[in-house]
Amino acid sequence: MATHAPIEQKSSIGAAGLRAFFRIAELWRLTNDQQIKLLNVPESTFFSWKKNQEHKRVSKDTLERISYVLGIYKNLQILLSDKDSACEWVSKPNKAPLFGGRSAIERMAGGNISDLYEVRRYLDAQVRG
């Protein structure tokens, strides 16, 4: 039998996730449009969240997307010892087959959650060596 987190817990998870997401987006220098695509939410929702990140309930899809972004960020911190290089990696062209010369953010902002998953999986493999 599945258990469900109380609404208060879901709200705190959503708020914490959004705070982390917006901090990473700032470090990665993402545009609002890129952030909206990563979160896959309407502009009005995005700007409401960005204005006030506390006590927000977010969908399971959005939490999953945030989780992938957090994992991507963590992996980059492990792989690239220089914080600036780790943050710049997402916007630099990449020759790996997954990216085909495009940047990771171009791939991640493709609109599908699978795009985030594939970038996370690629970096997980790099971390494992």
pLDDT 10s digits, 86-100: 889 999 999 999 999
Does position 108 have pLDDT exceeding 50, yes or no?
yes
Are 76 and 89 in contact, with CB atoms under 8 Å apart? yes
Using 50, 70 and 90 to split pLDDT, how confident is the model at 13? confident
Q: Across residues 55-69, what is the average pLDDT?
A: 89
Does position 6 have pLDDT exceeding 50, yes or no?
no
Distance of CA 97 to the CA centre of its chain: 21
Q: Which two tokens stand for residue 15?
A: 């708020």
The closest alpha carbon to 105, from 3, 5, 37, 23, belongs to 37
- The phi and psi torsions of 93 (rounded to 5 degrees) equal -60, 145
